[in-house]
Structures are given as structure tokens and as C-alpha cells.
Amino acid sequence: MRRRRADRVIANLDDQSQQLGLSEANDALAHGPFAVFKCARPASPVVLPTANEEDQAFSDLLPDLDLLPDVVDFNDEQFVAALSAIDQVFDAQEQPYADEAQQCDQGLPLSGNPTDLFLTPYLNPYPDSMAHRDASLLLNNYKDHVIRLFSPLKYHRKTPWNILQLPCAMTTLAEITMGYKASYARASVFNGVMAISAFNLSASSTSTAKTYWNGVANSYRLQAHESLKASLEHEMSVQKKAKYKEMLMAILCMVTISAFSGATENTRAYLLDAERLIRLRGLTKPRISRKARLLHHHYAYIRLMHETTSPSCKNAAPFRITDWESDETNDDDGDLEHPWKREKSFDIGVHDLHLEIAGDFTKHTLYPDVYGIPESLMLLISQTTRLGNEREAMMASPSSPSSPSPAQFFRRARALERAICQWDDDDEPSSPSHSSSSSSSSSSSSSDSYYPPGTDTDAHPAAVAANRRALAHLVRAMRAALVVYFYRRVHDVASTAILQPSVARTIEHLERIQDEDDAMAAAAPGEYDGYTTGIVWPGFVAACEAEGEGLRGRFERWFEVQERKSGVPLFGKAAGVVRMVWGRRDGGGKKKNGGGAGCVSWVDVVREEGVALLCT
């Protein structure tokens, strides 16, 4: 009976649609209490705005960026053209559904209503018989397992992945299932989330299942990329733009895909796209919402970590020091401490995307809400990266007007060194074996400063406490690694002996994170997943300087455990570079270019081998 009624409704729609005149081209017919049965004539196509019209639209959105010295010089033609560099990663002849990809490259027919373009779906990446048949499984895996791999905040439920990306993907799937259509940006977010989850399942599977999930992941990755490309080409130029947060989420999903797939060669291109979008549509808003700022911090963290290990990138103009004038007004080194402690205004702090301006933004930063890491530590990492780039520029072209004088460089280096050495916390977090009340109290007070509100109410209190202690150890590992990083990038020390105490402290704190996980897994078997997300950066920076079989063996084991438990290939890729550094150093290797008297370092290996690292 229900089938006959549905057939009758559809037949009536068909009959009535034939009676619509040409003047009624935009009319629509609908039957049913929720207009489920709907028939509409497509609107007449129109021509997209010309390049000059687009330039005018973009120029109206651009703010006065002269006050932001680290803005990349973009224009719209370069932005769209830059996408072709990403296309090289995706060979349509080697990917499934190549016909659909080719159709999208040729362009989709555009409707006469900008709203229709915004709601026009991307081509279905799968035949109807298998469309998103694994979507429910992949979404559940993303929600229950993958999100915890993005941040060491295991039980924090207000991260951008929990409150933005996952709801967007779920809503998009519901729209597709109900027959509605999603924008290119939303389709890209959905396909990106599916790809990330499928890559995670592939990493934890064996044999046939691994091959299957890898194929699913690559199919979704291709669709996410093509949808993003269409969004950047079309949904920024029409009157009805795609939502800013959805477009930014789509780009950040592609960055995450590169991490989970191990294909980090195209990471930088996506990060530059994200920066351009943020400066064009994000930082120009009179009021930037908290959710948008969460995404900005998500982007900035990945970008900063990427820049720390990318000395081979010649066009790293944003990561230089542009303000040397303030140093000239100080008569002694002590005065240089003031910029680090001076409070940043809210407006300056929000727009200081890459932490170029020294100052205290503790009251308003969202780094602890996303990664549990103090912004003051991220600021020191950013400043060290910039000063290291300045050193290389000064060595390469000392007479260049953009290069600092030796006096300027060493004055800034002393101030930064002092700030790094003085950055510390009150107490060391206690290890799992310390069970006294005083020790527990000390650990709690020490780790609470990193843990934001919004803890999962279903999580066991003991598990949350263990995660707090693990996070405190991670922060201390990063601080110890920062000392190593500073002396390598800024001073390029000739001997690694001076670095060994900081190297040992780094691996000690990283191992104590694993101790916390193992202790909780033993105390609550089956209720605790036994893994706190690690960050590649401290382990990589410190391991490259490790001397002796014992210390190196500890780093080897750490990399192996992290890659096995996370399923993220970034750990294995970083470990490969570490072994290359050890091998060349043990063989008496020197810098191939003859520059400097120091032993070979990871900076030399990464540059000479052209390795694209992402140490998040």
C-alpha cells in the first residue's frame, strides 16, 4: 500500500511538472508533509564573475595588512594557480573513479542562482550501490578513536574536532542520506573525515583489510581534494559564499590526511592555502568567534611545528624577524626581558597568527584548549625558528639589507636564550609509582595549569588525573627539547656534548608519559585505551643529538611504540631521519657544503635529502 502511494505521488509530480510553462522555469512542486517529494526545474546557467570583478570583490574584503609584517604576498590568480601544485600528488589515472575526477576538472554546470551553486553537491564519489556504505563505521571510529590522536587532551570534549569537524561531517552525511545537497566545502570536510578514519583503520589492520581500507581512504582523499579545489575556485567568488569555518576545516582536514597517510610532501601547499584564507576572510572580521579562533590555533600549531623542521624551504619569508628596532633602544641585556613579560592586547594577540610579537597572551590564548600547551612555550619555539632562519640568512648573505648585523643577532640571541632558560614550572609532576597524598597534590597543582575545563563527564577520575600528569610531562619534554633546538638552530654547536643533559631530560619525560599510560592500563584493563597522543617534535629534535647506544636505544623504542600505538606514519618517517643523522655522524660526516666546523646535523640531512617532515 505504501509503495503504491509513493508511486502515485511521484506520477502526479511528473504529470504536473510537464504543465509548467517556460515563464515558470523557477517554479517548484512539492508533495508530502515535509516536501520530501520535490520536483523543480533547474535555473538557467550564468557566467561566473570575471577576473576583474573577482579582484574587486577580494579587495573589498582585504584589510589594511601593513601592521602585520608576516603576511604572505598573495593574489587571487596565484592562489588558484597554486592549487595545481597540489594536483601533482593526485594522478587521476592511478586513482579510482578517475572519470568523476576528470569531469570535475572540466567544470560543473552552474545555475543562475548563487544559492543554487552553494547548495550544489559534488559528484557522488561512489556508485549508488555502495555510496558511503562504511560511513557509519568510519564516523564512529573517528569519534571514538581518531579524535584522541589529534591532541594529548584525551578527555577534553571542546576541541575543534569534537565541536566543529565531527558535527559538520555527521550533518553532511545526514543531508546526503536524505537526498539533500551539501556545498563543496562541507563535502570536502565529510570526505576528509572519512579519509582520515579509513587511513587509521588501514594502519591498524592486516592483510586484506589493510588493502581494503587503504583503497577506501585514497578514494575519499581524492574526493576531499577535488571538493576543496572546487570550493576555493567557486565558493569564494559568488554572492553566497561557503561558510568560512567550513572552508578552513576542509583545508585543515587535508593537512591531517597528509599526516595520517604519510604523504607530507603537499602539506606546505595546504598550510599556505589555510593562511591565505584566514587572512582574507578570518582576521578581517570585526569580531572573531571562539570557534573560529579554535581553528586558527589548530592551523597555527601545525604551521609552527612544520616550520621548525623545514629549513629547506627557501621561501620562508613569514618566519623571519622583521622588528630589530626595539633592540637598538636597550642599553643592556636585562632590558630585553621586558617584551616577553609585557601583556599583549586582545587585538594584537588574536591577529598575531604565527606568534611573531613577543608578549604575554595567557589570558586569552586557546592553545591550552586545543593542545594543552602554554602559548608562552609556543612563542619561544616560534622565536627560535625565526632566529635560526636569520642566522642562515646572515651566513648566506651578510651584506643583504634584510640580514641583521652580528651585534643585532647576538643581542637577540642572548635575550631569547635567557627567556628559554627561565621558562619553567614550580614542581615536577609525580610518576605513577608515587602514591603519597602530598605527591598527588603536587602533581595535580602542576598539571592543572595545562588542562582546560570541559572534561568528559563519563571519564574515570583516575584516568583524567593520569592524563593530566602525562600532559605535564609532555610540556616539560617540549621545554627540554626547545633547549636542544635553540643551540642547534641558533648557535649550531660544534659538539653535541653540551646538549646531552637536555637530551636525557627529554626522553625521560617522554618515557614517563608511557609509564602513566601503562599504569592506568594495568589498573583498569579494558576501560583504558592505554595511549596518550605523543608529539613527534620533542622526540625528533632530541634524538638527533643523542650520543651513546643506551640513550639512542631509548629513543628508538619510543619511536617504535608511538608509531605502533598511534598508527601515524610521522613517527617512522622522523625516526628514519634520526638514523640518517646518527649514521653520518658516526662515520665522521661533516657538512657537505663545508659551512661551519660543527658536525653534521638534522638540518643538513633534511635540506640535502629534501625530506618533508611534519613533526606534530
**Confidence at residue 521, expressed as pLDDT on a 0 to 100 scale:** 85
**Confidence at residue 164, expressed as pLDDT on a 0 to 100 scale:** 98
C-alpha closest to that of 160 among 228, 252, 225, 231: 252
Give the number of other Cβ atoms within 10 Å of residue 461's Cβ.
8
Distances (CA, A) of 142 to 145, 165, 167, 267, 464: 6, 10, 11, 21, 21
Regarding whether 338 and 216 lie in a shared domain, the answer is: no
Cα 53–55–60 angle (5° rounding)? 100
124: cell is 557522488
Tell me the per-residue pLDDT of 194-249, one tens digit each, with 9 for 90 and over: 999 999 999 999 889 999 999 999 999 999 999 999 998 888 765 667 899 999 99
Tell me if residue 39 falls in helix, strand or coil. Answer: strand
- Whether 538 maps to a domain, the answer reads yes
Give the number of other Cβ atoms within 10 Å of residue 522's Cβ.
11
493: cell is 654547536
185: cell is 566545502
Tell me the per-residue pLDDT of 361-408, one tens digit each, with 9 for 90 and over: 999 999 999 999 999 999 999 999 999 999 988 888 877 777 788 888
Regarding whether 451 and 383 lie in a shared domain, the answer is: no
| Local structure of residue 429 (DSSP, 8 states) | P
Q: What's the gap between Cα 419 and its chain centre?
A: 27
Regarding whether 468 and 597 lie in a shared domain, the answer is: yes
**Confidence at residue 46, expressed as pLDDT on a 0 to 100 scale:** 34
**Confidence at residue 452, expressed as pLDDT on a 0 to 100 scale:** 82
Q: Which residues of 295-326 are buried (b: 16+ CB within 10 A; e: fewer)?
A: bbbbbbbbbbbbbbbbbeeeebebbbbeeeee
- Whether 112 maps to a domain, the answer reads yes
**Confidence at residue 596, expressed as pLDDT on a 0 to 100 scale:** 41
Most confident of 58-67, 81-90, 461-470: 461-470
Regarding whether 266 and 197 lie in a shared domain, the answer is: yes
Regarding whether 202 and 171 lie in a shared domain, the answer is: yes
Regarding whether 461 and 412 lie in a shared domain, the answer is: no
Q: How many CA atoms lie within 13 A of 95 on its CB side?
A: 24
Which residue has better confidence, 77 or 512?
Answer: 512
Element at 27 (helix H, strand E): none
Q: What is the mean pLDDT of the chain?
A: 77
Phi-psi map region of 97: left, alpha, beta (phi>0 left; psi -120 to 50 alpha)? left
303: cell is 604551521
- Whether 366 maps to a domain, the answer reads yes
Tell me the per-residue pLDDT of 418-429, one tens digit each, with 9 for 90 and over: 999 999 754 344
Q: What is the largest CA-CA distance in the chain?
A: 91
Which residue has better confidence, 355 or 123?
Answer: 355
Regarding whether 477 and 393 lie in a shared domain, the answer is: no
Regarding whether 123 and 26 lie in a shared domain, the answer is: no
**Confidence at residue 215, expressed as pLDDT on a 0 to 100 scale:** 95
531: cell is 595511549
- Whether 430 maps to a domain, the answer reads no
**Confidence at residue 13, expressed as pLDDT on a 0 to 100 scale:** 52
Element at 78 (helix H, strand E): helix 76-87
- Whether 179 maps to a domain, the answer reads yes
Q: Total structural domains in the chain? A: 4
Residue 94 pLDDT class (50, 70, 90 cuts): very low
**Confidence at residue 562, expressed as pLDDT on a 0 to 100 scale:** 96
Element at 506 (helix H, strand E): helix 500-523
Q: What is the mean pLDDT of residues 541-568?
A: 97
Integer Cα distance of 589 and 599 in angstroms: 7
Which residue has better confidence, 459 or 110?
Answer: 459
305: cell is 611545528
Integer Cα distance of 131 and 194 in angstroms: 12
Cell match 578552513: residue? 248
Tell me the per-residue pLDDT of 297-331, one tens digit each, with 9 for 90 and over: 999 999 999 999 987 555 545 688 766 555 444 44
Q: What is the mean pLDDT of residues 539-568?
A: 97
pLDDT at 503 over 80: yes
**Confidence at residue 587, expressed as pLDDT on a 0 to 100 scale:** 83
Cell match 633592540: residue? 327
C-alpha closest to that of 306 among 355, 260, 255, 352: 255
- Whether 51 maps to a domain, the answer reads no
- Whether 528 maps to a domain, the answer reads yes
Regarding whether 164 and 233 lie in a shared domain, the answer is: yes
Q: What is the mean pLDDT of residues 25-44?
A: 45
**Confidence at residue 486, expressed as pLDDT on a 0 to 100 scale:** 98
Regarding whether 501 and 357 lie in a shared domain, the answer is: no
Integer Cα distance of 165 and 190 in angstroms: 8
**Confidence at residue 318, expressed as pLDDT on a 0 to 100 scale:** 62
- Whether 186 maps to a domain, the answer reads yes
**Confidence at residue 143, expressed as pLDDT on a 0 to 100 scale:** 95
Regarding whether 128 and 8 lie in a shared domain, the answer is: no
Q: Which domain holds residue 249?
A: 72-308
Regarding whether 130 and 226 lie in a shared domain, the answer is: yes
**Confidence at residue 604, expressed as pLDDT on a 0 to 100 scale:** 93
